[in-house]
Amino acid sequence: MSAVWQAVVLGRALSDDHLTAALDGALAPRGRRAVEVRTHVDRSSAVARTVVSWRTDGHPADDARVATDLDGEVLGPAGDGPPPPWLDGSGGRCVRFPGDDALSGVHPVAEIVAVTAIDRVDAVGGGLDGDSPVDTLGGWLRPTVVDGQLVLLVEPAEAGRWRPVEIRDPHQCCGGAH
């Protein structure tokens, strides 16, 4: 795995599925695949922008080309100097991470921590232990980076289970038009 994170500011809003598909499409011709993908919101100007960061399974690819395909602008490479805070500190959101395809059903907290890169599972309101069952809702997990750790935040769900706070298909009002 490349140690080098690359980053692009997105020029338009993309769903995670579109984002990873576009990234894979841009990297594949170079024989690369993004093994980790994260997003982060840049709120430094009036209009917030989403930044996508990734690292590949080989040498970094030409990120200007990737930026073009994603309709974004190149922010990285981030390999020199200290890593930006959304990678190493707090605020990043993990779209693709090691072990993310290992789970798809209801799994105890301990198993989630054991088989994925997730370091910790926290619950809204607390009350979680290693045996607590988490419904991964089809394995769609979006842990966030908190003090350098990957933390999955869950909340109470039906039947004494827990489920991730961020889910794949929240209700879209107005057909998602706004």
Partner 1 sequence: MGHGHDHPHDHDHTEVAGSWRDPEAGDRLSVSRRRFLAGAVAAGAAAGLGSTVAGLGQGVAAAAPKGRPTPVNPWTGTNRFLAGDHHIHTQFSPDAQYEVETQVSKAAEYGLDWMVVTDHGGTAHQKYSIDQVTPRIEASREAHRDLLVYQGLEWNIPGAEHATVFLPPGANSVEILRAFEAGYDGSVLADQKKVVRSTSGDGEPFALEALRYLDQQVRGGRAEIALMFANHPARRGIDSPHEIRNWRDAAPEVAVGMEGAPGHQAAGIPLDMRGPGKARGYYDFAPTEDSFPGYAPSATENPYRTYGGFDWMTAKVGGLWDSLLAEGRPWWVTSTSDSHQVWLDTLEPGEQPYATTGSRGTPIDTGVQQTGYGDFWPGYYSSTLVAAQRRTYVSVMRGLQAGQVIAVHGRLIEGMDVRVRATRGDGDARGVTLGGRTHVQRGGDVQVELTIELAAGPNAAGMVPKLAKVDLISGPVTGAAADRDTLSAPQTSVVETFEVPAGARKRVRLEHTFRNVQQSFYLRVRGSDGNQLDSAGNPLIDVAGAEDPFADLWFYANPVFVDVLG
| Residues making contact with partner 1 (CB under 8 A) | 13, 41, 43, 46-50, 122-126, 142, 153, 155-159, 163, 165-167, 170-171, 173-175, 177-178
For partner 1, which is the closer residue by CB, 35 or 151? 151
Q: How far is the CB of 115 from partner 1 (least distance, A)?
A: 23
Nearer to partner 1, 49 or 107 (CB): 49
Burial of 65 (0-12, 13-18, 19+ CB in 10 A): middle
Q: How far apart are CA 152 and CA 112, in angstroms?
A: 9
Q: How far is the CB of 125 from partner 1 (least distance, A)?
A: 6
Q: Nearest distance from residue 49's CB to partner 1, in Å? A: 7
Of 135, 133, 134, 153, the closest CA to residue 144 belongs to: 153
Nearer to partner 1, 61 or 123 (CB): 123
Look at phi and psi of residue 147 and say left if phi exceeds 0, alpha if psi is from -120 to 50, else beta: left
SS3 for 95? strand
Residue 41 bridge partners (DSSP): 50
CA-nearest of 79, 91, 88 to 51 is: 91
- Closest CB to partner 1 among 27 and 134? 134
Whichever of 60 and 84 has its CB closer to partner 1, that residue is: 84
Q: How many CA atoms, within 13 angstroms, populate the side-chain half-sphere of residue 128?
A: 24
Nearest distance from C-beta of residue 141 to partner 1, angstroms: 12
Kindly state the smallest distance separating residue 142's Cβ from partner 1, in Å. 8
DSSP state of 159: G
